[in-house]
Structure formats: structure tokens, C-alpha cells
């Protein structure tokens, strides 16, 4: 990887033992693979004994030049410039999590580079004034940038970014990060043959609506032709949306069954 491809970022010069790192395979030999640690700009060795728990007959069946890997740091010797790494000690969950963190960091740092260019400042200035305060406040730079995109310029002002810079930074951030929303929906089929059945169904849906609104304000319930009624819920994340839907369904079901009616619910994709 060329030096120009790396994003500037101030981190420790050397990785820590047991740390997960993203690396690009540079060259493959009979005894292992030399890799480039993307986040540190250093070379490391992935020995053949650390590639797979089983017997490795052909190393190229497991790694190839240009491949991105998540590796665990086994040993670091700054004096000799050696970094020993392992692939077999990284499980699938760790791999997915690290790749996600790495991609988010690259995107976040890319946004800071654009802000620096747009404002005529260098990267270090922007990181000092904007990046580091967001990282300290939210624990992760990208999470901080997402908060800015969602909640507005006030987040930047609150962490001490000067107003003029905050305005320009917010323009860049809001163009490149779109707040995610979660949408869930489903269909109730409700019947109640009692004389006041219509009122019972109406009350059940009103209660379901109120129950869902405890979690998110964006709730819709409407008829698509009796006895079918659709519920749509939009929230900031799927956990909240699912919780709202679950409570709405339970509320409507309990009310209808207690009132002597029949109710079915079907999720929609």
C-alpha cells in the first residue's frame, strides 16, 4: 500500500499485544505471509503456523497477495522492528467487528480530510479542534459525526468547535452521513362479533398506538379493508422499532382477547 493511500491519524507507533489489526497481504512465502498493517504503516509476519488450526498444505489456499485480513498481534519488538501476527486466533465475530470499526474509522477520517480541505486548514488542526473532542465525548469519532448529522450543529458547538468552522463542518458531515432509520410493519386481522365490536376494535388499536408511541413518535395504524389493519413504525434503530411493535401487538391482542374477539398478526417485509 502506498503512503498516499493511508489516512493521517495519530495513534501509538506500535500495536499492542492481543490487539486486533487490519492488514493487507504484501507477499506470500513458503513459511508465511508478510503483511502491511493498514492502521500503523508497518510490516508484520503471519507465520504459517498461525494461519489455521489444521494442517496447511498450501499457504495460498488461505492467504493471497492484496487480501485484507483481521489479525491478532502476538508479539511486538520495536527494537528489531518485528510484529508477529495470528489469523487462526481471530474468530468470525471479532473479524466482522474489527472490519466494521476499521471501515467506520476510515470514513470518519475521510470526512475530516474533506473538512480540512474545505476550510483551508491542515488535518492536524481539524483533528485537534473537531475530531478529538468528538472522540472524547462519544467514545468513537464516527459515532460523534453521526450525532452531528442527526442532531445538528449544536453538537459541534457544545464540544467547543468555533461557530464558523462548525457551520462548514456541519455542511460536510450532513452531506456524507445520512441518519439511519428502522422501519417495521405488519397487519392485524381483527374480528369481534359483539354488538359494540367496532368500538372494541377501535379501542384496541388506539391502545396499541399509544403503547408503541412510548418508544417512538412515528407510528401509523390504518385500515386496509376490514378486518385488516396495518401498523407501521419508524424509529432510530431496529431495537427500538421492534420493542414498539412487540408492545403494540401484545396490547392489541390482550384487549381483543379479553373482550371476546379474535386477532391475528402477520409481519410484513
In the chain, the N- to C-terminal Cα span, in Å, equals 42
pLDDT single digits (tens) 30-44? 999 999 999 999 999
pLDDT single digits (tens) 89-139? 999 999 998 998 899 899 999 999 999 999 999 999 999 999 999 999 998
Which residues does the chain have with pLDDT short of 50? 1-8
Q: Check residue 1 and give its pLDDT.
A: 39
> Residues 262, 256: contact at Cβ < 8 Å?
yes
Q: Check residue 10 and give its pLDDT.
A: 59
Q: Check residue 9 and give its pLDDT.
A: 54
In whole angstroms, give the CA distance from residue 269 to residue 263.
20
Residue ranges and CATH numbers for the domains of the chain are: 18-90 (2.40.50.140), 94-176 (1.10.150.190), 182-268 (3.30.70.1130)
> Residues 23, 38: contact at Cβ < 8 Å?
yes
Q: Check residue 4 and give its pLDDT.
A: 35
Helices 141-151 and 92-119, packing angle to 10 deg: 60
For 189, phi then psi, to 5°, come to -115, 115
Amino acid at each position: 500500500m502506498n503512503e498516499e493511500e493511508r489516512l493521517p491519524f495519530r495513534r501509538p507507533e506500535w500495536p499492542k499485544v492481543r490487539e486486533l489489526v487490519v492488514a493487507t497481504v504484501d507477499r506470500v512465502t513458503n513459511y508465511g505471509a508478510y503483511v502491511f498493517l493498514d492502521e500503523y504503516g508497518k510490516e508484520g509476519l503471519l507465520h504459517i503456523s498461525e494461519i489455521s488450526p489444521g494442517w496447511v498444505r498450501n499457504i495460498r489456499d488461505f492467504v493471497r497477495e492484496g487480501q485484507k485480513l483481521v489479525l491478532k498481534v502476538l508479539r511486538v519488538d520495536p527494537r528489531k522492528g518485528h510484529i508477529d501476527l495470528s489469523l487462526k486466533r481471530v474468530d468470525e465475530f471479532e473479524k466482522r467487528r474489527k472490519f466494521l470499526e476499521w471501515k467506520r474509522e476510515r470514513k470518519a477520517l475521510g470526512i475530516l480530510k474533506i473538512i480540512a480541505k474545505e476550510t483551508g486548514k491542515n488535518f492536524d488542526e481539524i483533528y485537534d479542534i473537531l475530531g478529538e473532542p468528538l472522540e472524547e465525548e462519544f467514545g468513537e469519532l464516527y459515532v460523534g459525526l453521526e450525532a452531528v448529522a442527526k442532531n445538528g450543529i449544536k453538537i459541534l458547538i457544545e464540544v467547543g468547535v468555533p461557530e464558523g468552522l462548525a457551520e462548514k463542518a456541519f455542511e460536510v458531515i450532513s452531506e456524507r452521513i445520512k441518519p439511519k432509520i428502522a422501519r417495521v410493519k405488519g397487519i392485524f386481522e381483527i374480528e369481534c362479533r359483539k354488538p359494540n365490536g367496532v368500538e372494541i376494535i377501535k379501542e384496541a388499536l388506539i391502545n396499541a398506538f399509544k403503547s408503541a408511541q412510548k418508544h417512538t413518535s412515528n407510528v401509523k395504524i390504518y385500515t386496509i379493508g376490514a378486518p385488516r389493519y396495518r401498523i407501521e413504525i419508524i424509529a432510530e434503530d431496529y431495537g427500538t422499532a421492534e420493542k414498539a411493535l412487540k408492545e403494540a401487538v401484545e396490547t392489541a391482542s390482550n384487549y381483543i382477547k379479553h373482550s371476546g374477539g379474535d386477532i391475528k398478526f402477520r409481519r410484513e417485509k
